[in-house]
């Protein structure tokens, strides 16, 4: 069965794909608002692990609304959650019988709880899979270490194929770099450069 | 890394082991109160899928308490949950650096929520994995169909290597077969007889 995995080029979504690989015909799918070039880093990471790659288009009005929400809130959580659900619904509507993402047990955001998962499955007629949702942070770190080659660095320095990159770019354009720095806590990003 | 998977010989715990197999050195572990012979069906199923097999001993006083609770409640849920947590804690204390079970996203019981999982990890210094917790019922049914050969039948007819079998046996002994029929809703059990 074909499975489209929402793909950021980072370690979580790549590991999610590796868990599914023995059971599904996996395609890595980078979702883009068309605001920043997230397709190139997604394709590069997909090639580095030797899996198929596609892109899907997200609705830019969702990005606008999410950025305004994050600036009003002063933190990104609610906006990110809304964008993630939009991305899941978009890939669910893209023709794959199964879809997946890299959400993890210990993530606070984004999360897809059981009721949201079942709602997506019912509305779009797909299986929604969260292969890392049964793994804690330490287990995931150990599996990444064993199976992937990863480059890490600050968010601004590591080209990622995720909507956070685009939301930051849009926020920078509309509210300035200082607002981005205020709203998004600096954290280390990872980019997959191959398998081990 | 070695991973002990709580093993009933059924389709869920077997599929959980198959998901982990590319990443861990998996041992299937049947937990027993010593009330009924659940070891033989567990070992048979483990041999049928070609994975290592061990047993661990559960505390019979937990089974006694669970049976009394289930009879008082008139339904098995709370007793089963207590026994499952005891089984998870017992395998967590058995020397495996990682442990796992076959709990699924759509199960009402047993469940190990994030706080319980993190508590087990902290207290016993293990990784707790629930590889099927990100998969819905339809996805699991499809994966089982593709990867396992399974025999199904009513609970009383299919020899399983799970604590429900032992709790039923203890309840029958102490409260009679009619009480067992009242407390445990009849449902179809599965037993794995090989891989596809």
- Rg of chain B, C-alpha, whole Å: 16
Cβ contact A127–B106 (<8 Å): no
Kindly tell me if the per-residue pLDDT of B40 is higher than 90.
Answer: yes
Tell me if ipTM is over 0.90: yes
Q: Is B19 on the interface with A (CB under 8 A)?
A: yes
Nearest to B136 among A18, A19, A127 (CB): A127
Residue A50 is predicted with a pLDDT of 98
Task: Output the domain CATH number for residue A38.
Answer: 3.40.50.620
Q: In terms of pLDDT, which residue wins out, B108 or B86? A: B86
pLDDT by residue (tens digit) across A12-69?
999 999 999 999 999 999 999 999 999 999 999 999 999 999 999 999 999 999 999 9
Would the CB atoms of B134 and A138 count as touching at under 8 Å?
no
Tell me if B134 and A136 make a contact (CB, 8 A cut-off).
no
User: Quick check: B189 pLDDT over 80?
Assistant: yes
Query: What digits encode the pLDDT tens for the residues A1-15?
Result: 999 999 999 999 999
In terms of CA atoms, which chain A residue is nearest residue B16? A134
How many angstroms separate the Cα of B95 from the Cα of each of A156, B3, B54, B86? 42, 10, 12, 16
Which residues of A are less than 8 Å from B147 in CB distance? 23
CB proximity under 8 Å: A 123-162 to B: 127-136, 138-139, 142-143, 146-147
| B186 or A150, which is more confident | A150
In this prediction, residue B18 has a pLDDT band, given cuts at 50, 70 and 90, of: very high
Nearest to residue B130, comparing CAs of A89, A90, A167, A136?
A136
Across the interface, whether the CB atoms of B135 and A142 are under 8 A apart is answered no
Give the chain A residue whose CA is nearest to the CA of B121: A136
The total number of residues shown for chain A amounts to: 196
Percent of chain B whose pLDDT exceeds 70: 100
Q: Which of A1, A106, A121 sits opposite B136 (nearest CB)?
A: A121
**pLDDT for residue B142:** 98
Asked if pLDDT for residue B187 goes beyond 90, the answer is no
Strand partners, B116: none
Evaluate if residue B63 carries a pLDDT over 80. Answer: yes
Tokens of B42: 């567990």
HSE of A6 in the Cβ direction (CA atoms, 13 Å)? 29
Enumerate the residues of chain A whose CB falls inside 8 A of the CB of residue B106: 114, 118
When comparing pLDDT for A159 and B47, which is higher? B47
Q: Which of B103, B129, B136 sits opposite A117 (nearest CB)?
A: B136
pLDDT reading at B155 higher than 80? no
Q: How confident is the model at residue B140 (pLDDT cuts 50, 70, 90)?
A: very high
Q: What are phi and psi of B136, to 5 degrees?
A: -80, 175
Among B114, B138, B143, select the one facing A105 at the smallest CB separation.
Answer: B114
> H helices of chain A, where?
11-20, 39-49, 60-73, 77-92, 114-124, 137-147, 163-175, 177-183
Cα(first)–Cα(last) distance of chain B, in Å?
26
User: Which chain B residues have a beta carbon less than 8 Å from that of A114?
Assistant: 105-106
Percent of all residues in chain B with a pLDDT value above 90, rounded to a whole number: 92
Instruction: Decide: B33 and A174 in contact? Cβ < 8 Å.
Output: no
**Is pLDDT above 80 for A156?**
no
Q: Domain range holding A112? A: 2-195
- What pLDDT is attached to residue B159? 87
| Closest alpha carbon within chain B to A125 | B138
Tens of pLDDT, residue by residue over A89-132, are 999 999 999 999 999 999 989 999 999 999 999 999 999 999 99
Distance between CA atoms of A102 and A4, rounded to whole angstroms? 12
Q: How confident is the model at residue A189 (pLDDT cuts 50, 70, 90)?
A: confident
A133/B133 Cβ within 8 A: yes
Min distance A55 CA to chain B CA atoms (Å): 24
Convert the pLDDT of each residue in A75-90 to its tens digit.
Answer: 999 999 999 999 999 9
* Contact (CB<8Å) B134/A130: yes
CB B189 within 8 A of CB B155: yes
Chain B residues with CB under 8 Å of A146 CB are 23
Chain B residues with CB under 8 Å of A133 CB are: 105, 130, 133-134
Residue B55 pLDDT more than 90?
yes
Running DSSP on this structure, what letter comes out for residue A108? Answer: S
Q: Which residues contact B167 (CB under 8 A, 6 or more apart)?
A: B63, B66, B67, B70, B76, B79, B80, B83
pLDDT of residue B162: 92
């Amino acid at each position: 069965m074909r499975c489209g995995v929402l793909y950021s080029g980072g370690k979580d979504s790549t590991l999610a794909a590796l868990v599914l690989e023995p059971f599904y015909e996996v395609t890595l799918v980078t979702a883009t608002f068309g605001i920043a070039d997230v397709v190139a880093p997604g394709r590069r990471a997909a090639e580095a692990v030797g899996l198929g790659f596609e892109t899907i288009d997200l609705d830019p009005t969702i990005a606008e609304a999410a950025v305004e929400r994050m600036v009003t809130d002063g933190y990104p959580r609610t906006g990110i959650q809304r964008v993630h659900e939009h991305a899941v619904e978009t890939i669910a509507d893209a023709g794959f019988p199964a879809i997946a993402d890299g959400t993890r047990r210990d993530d606070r955001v984004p999360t897809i709880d059981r009721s949201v998962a079942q709602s997506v499955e019912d509305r779009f007629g797909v299986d929604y899979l969260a292969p890392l949702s049964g793994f804690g942070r330490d287990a995931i770190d150990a599996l990444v270490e064993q199976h992937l080659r990863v480059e890490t660095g600050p968010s601004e320095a590591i080209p990622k194929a995720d909507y956070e990159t685009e939301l930051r770019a849009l926020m920078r354009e509309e509210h300035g770099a200082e607002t981005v720095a205020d709203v998004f806590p600096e954290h280390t990003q990872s980019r997959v450069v191959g398998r081990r």
